[in-house]
């Protein structure tokens, strides 16, 4: 049975909830709020452990940080993060790998993954994605995995990036009919006049296409980017 929103909240579950953050890199039970060093150590120096000593991580220019490395089976339920929009939203690359694969199933700039392109904030209020005022990004796509899940963020900029983040997940059996989450990013800069910008190709097998987010800049005089939407089944 497929459930949406709060439909399944009344159903009993054997799943064990866990959370990974800059305070608890492994998601260990009771592992949060125990950091003794981190990006907030100076501000919390008189408060001690439990007072956001490690609220975030610093990713050096050109470096890749591992945000989560989880043994399954389980399902990622929620991703949250916030960082400087002026560089990091298009200047960092979010990747997700399932089952130890070397090729990422998700490879998207951070801002675009949360429907915010151009390094400019746009509020998004939806069931799967919420971009909140002041740049709080949330994604609620269910992301099941059977053996392994790995999430990384690469800093492509020439400066340090500071990232606040959290990965909420459940450890439980994954059904045989569960599909893996995929997302990819494409850019035509610009789209040559009269040519096509491809959204999706090369996909085989069964699954559900959940949609496309586009950040569109208009370069043609006399046209404002409006157009008819066509759907086919």
Number of domains in the chain: 1
Residue 98's domain comprises 16-184
Is residue 172, in this structure, part of any structural domain at all?
A: yes
Is residue 225, in this structure, part of any structural domain at all?
A: no
Name the one residue in this structure whose structure tokens are 């404002």: 224
Is residue 8, in this structure, part of any structural domain at all?
A: no
> pTM for the whole thing?
0.90
Is residue 197, in this structure, part of any structural domain at all?
A: no
Contact criterion met (CB below 8 Å) for 20 and 167: yes
Counting residues of the chain whose pLDDT is more than 70, the rounded percentage is 94
Rounded distance between C-alpha atoms, residue 78 and residue 138, angstroms? 7
For residue 93, list its beta bridge partners.
109, 154
- What number is the average pLDDT over the span 165-181? 96
* Predicted local confidence at residue 1, as pLDDT: 46
DSSP-assigned states of every residue in the chain: ----TTTTTTS----EEEEEETTBTT--TT-TT--SSSTTTTTTTTT-TTS-SSS-EEE-TT-EEEEEEEESSEEEEEEEEE--TTTHHHHEEEEEEETT-SS-SEEEEHHHHTT--TT----EESSSEEEETTTEEEE---EEESSEEEEEEEE-SSS-EEEEEEEEEEES---TTPPPP-EE----SSPPTT-------S--SS-------------STT--S--------
* Predicted local confidence at residue 74, as pLDDT: 97
Contact criterion met (CB below 8 Å) for 155 and 59: yes
Counting residues of the chain whose pLDDT is more than 90, the rounded percentage is 60
Q: What is the CATH number of the domain that holds 111?
A: 2.60.120.1390
Rounded distance between C-alpha atoms, residue 105 and residue 96, angstroms? 6
* Predicted local confidence at residue 7, as pLDDT: 77
Is residue 223, in this structure, part of any structural domain at all?
A: no
The pLDDT tens digits of the residues spanning 102-132 come to 999 999 999 999 999 988 899 999 999 999 9
Is residue 205, in this structure, part of any structural domain at all?
A: no
Is residue 114, in this structure, part of any structural domain at all?
A: yes
Rounded distance between C-alpha atoms, residue 70 and residue 147, angstroms? 8
For residue 145, what are its two tokens?
A: 């995995």
Confidence of residue 172 (pLDDT cuts 50, 70, 90): very high
Q: What are phi and psi of 180, to 5 degrees?
A: -85, 145
Tell me the C-alpha to C-alpha distance, in Å, between residue 126 and each of 5, 46, 148.
10, 40, 28
Listed range (140-154, 173-187, 188-202) with the worst mean pLDDT = 188-202
């Amino acid at each position: 049975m497929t459930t949406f929103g709060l439909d399944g909240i009344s159903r009993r579950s054997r799943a064990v909830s866990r959370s990974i953050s800059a305070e608890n890199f492994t998601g260990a039970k009771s592992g949060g709020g125990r950091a003794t060093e981190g990006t907030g150590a100076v501000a919390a120096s008189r408060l001690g452990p439990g007072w956001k000593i490690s609220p975030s991580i610093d990713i050096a220019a050109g470096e890749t940080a591992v945000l989560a490395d989880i043994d399954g089976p389980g399902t990622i339920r929620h991703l949250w993060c916030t960082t400087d929009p002026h560089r990091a939203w298009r200047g960092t690359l979010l990747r997700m790998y399932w089952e130890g694969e070397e090729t990422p199933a998700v490879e998207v700039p951070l801002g675009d993954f949360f429907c915010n392109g151009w390094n400019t904030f746009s509020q998004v209020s939806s069931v799967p994605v919420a971009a909140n005022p002041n740049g709080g990004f949330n994604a609620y796509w269910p992301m099941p995995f059977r053996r392994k899940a790995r999430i990384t963020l690469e800093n492509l900029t020439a400066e340090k990036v500071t990232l606040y983040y959290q990965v909420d997940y459940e450890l439980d059996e994954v059904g045989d009919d569960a599909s893996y989450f995929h997302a990819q990013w494409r850019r035509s800069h610009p789209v040559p006049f009269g040519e096509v910008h491809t959204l999706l190709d090369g996909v085989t097998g069964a699954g559900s296409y959940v949609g496309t987010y586009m950040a569109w800049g208009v370069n043609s005089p006399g046209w404002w980017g409006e157009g008819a939407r066509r759907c086919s089944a």
